[in-house]
Amino acid sequence: MTEFAAPKSRLPTADSQLPAPVFHDPKHHIKIYQGDCLEILAAIPADCVDLIFADPPYFLSNDGITCHAGRMVSVNKGEWDRSRGPDLSAMRPLICFPTVVGSRANMGTGRMPKRVRARFHFDERGHACSILASDFPAEFRDIIDCLDSFVLRKTHILTPGGGKSPISTAIDKFLRERGWAEKAFDIKILIDGEPIPTPTHKIDNFRNRVGLEVEWNNKTEFYDRDLNNFRLLKELRVLDVGVIVTRLSELQGLFDKLGKGASYGASTTHWDKLIPKIDGGGAGGCPLLLVGLGMNCYDPDS
């Protein structure tokens, strides 16, 4: 990041507030603000920006001349581009190159209540949290309430395999009571009038264009299935956000301690297996909210 320092008297405070946007398109999640870039940027919450693309004034209006289309013309563009000396001119341009480019930055996970962020690990792609909070507030509330009520119980970890985990079942049950349902999609593409079936896998929890899958202790290929499904359904405009709830890799030490390490092997679904698949483009352009279950939600007495 290259930044030209402004005099301290002009720097905005931490209490700065964003003005009303001069343009707002909720459908495409676009807001345009007009004002001093230093004041606007300082009012934006931390960790919520993927990329700042700036075209600042270069203060080239110095009464000089240049050649344009074979003619000699003035370089002056207006008072906004005229230098006012090194101290004042330094207040205007600001060029920022983000430490994280693209959709890796956790733009909206700060929208999760602090108590929830203290118990779970979150990551996102494509501003999933912001989309959920603004366009799907009921579904966002369901997810928050579900996590609020969730406890990783010792007895559930010790439950023998052979069927759906009680951990996945508990999450599914909570969402079912909120109106979420298992959803299969019958999709066909017409080519010259002939329907071509386009099979997709069902989503375990679906409501109002939001899909949520729980991968507690499956084969890692289930991640590929989920991500490809989210990608296709997003491209077909029937899904807006995909959510994956999975276990954090840190739990392996707990499993070993409880004598269950062999049941939760390295080739099963856990966080360190999921992230490379996402970074490799497994979900395409589908916004993703990723929720990690770890030691902070574990109760050894239940």
Residue 182 and residue 279 in one domain: yes
pLDDT at residue 242 tops 70: yes
pLDDT band for 97, please (50, 70, 90 cuts): very low
Higher pLDDT, 88 or 67: 67
Q: Mean pLDDT of all residues in the chain?
A: 82
Q: Could you read off the pLDDT of 130-177 as tens digits, one per residue?
A: 999 989 999 999 999 999 999 999 999 998 866 788 999 999 999 999
Cβ atoms 211, 241 nearer than 8 A: yes
Residue 104 lies in a domain: no
Residue where a domain stops, chosen among 95, 129, 153: 95
- Report the share of the chain in percent with pLDDT over 70: 81
Whole-number percent of the chain with pLDDT over 90 = 49
Residue 162 domain flag: yes
| Claim to verify: residue 192 and residue 288 sit in the same structural domain | yes
C-alpha to C-alpha distance for 206 and 139, rounded to whole angstroms: 10
Range in 54-63, 99-108, 117-126, 233-242 the model is least confident about: 99-108
**Pick from 169, 163, 179: nearest CA to 245:** 169
The pTM assigned to this predicted structure is 0.66
> Residue 100 domain-assigned?
no
Same domain, 147 and 264: yes
Do 162 and 246 belong together in one domain?
A: yes
pLDDT higher than 80, residue 279: yes
Say whether both 74 and 118 belong to one domain. no
Going by pLDDT thresholds of 50, 70 and 90, the confidence category of residue 238 is very high
Indicate the residue among 66, 95, 124 that finishes a domain: 95
CATH number of the domain that residue 269 is part of: 3.40.91.20
DSSP assignment string, 77-116: --GGGS---HHHHTTS-EE---SS-SS-S-SSGGGS-HHH
Residue 1 in this model has a pLDDT that exceeds 60: no
**Residue 141 to residues 65, 135, 174: CA-CA distances in angstroms?**
60, 12, 12
* 98 backbone φψ class: left, alpha, beta (φ>0; ψ -120 to 50): beta
pLDDT band for position 189 (50/70/90)?
A: confident
pLDDT of residue 4: 38
For residues 189 and 115, membership in a common domain is answered with yes
In degrees and rounded to multiples of 5, residue 14 shows phi and psi of -65, -15
Q: Is the pLDDT of residue 27 over 50?
A: yes
Rounded distance, CA 9 to CA 112, Å?
34
Counting beta carbons within 10 angstroms of the beta carbon of residue 155, is it exposed (0 to 12), middle (13 to 18) or buried (19 or more)? exposed
**CA 288/CA 125 separation, integer angstroms:** 5
Number of folded domains that form the chain? 2
One-letter amino acid at 198 equals: T
Same domain, 153 and 197: yes
Residue 46 pLDDT class (50, 70, 90 cuts): low
What value does the mean pLDDT take over residues 185-205?
79
Domain membership flag for residue 189: yes
Residue 263 reports pLDDT greater than 50: yes
**Which pLDDT value is given to residue 30?**
78
The residue among 34, 65, 95 that closes a domain is 95
Q: Can you say how many angstroms the Cα of residue 277 is from the centroid of all Cα atoms in its chain?
A: 16
Q: Tell me which of 39-48, 71-80, 184-193 is least confident.
A: 39-48
Can you tell me the mean pLDDT for 53-59? 69
pLDDT value at residue 82: 75
Same domain for 210 and 139: yes
Q: Establish if 10 belongs to a structural domain.
A: yes
- The pLDDT of residue 95 is 41
Same domain, 250 and 163: yes
Regarding whether 32 and 144 lie in a shared domain, the answer is no
Structural domain of residue 36, as residue ranges?
A: 2-95
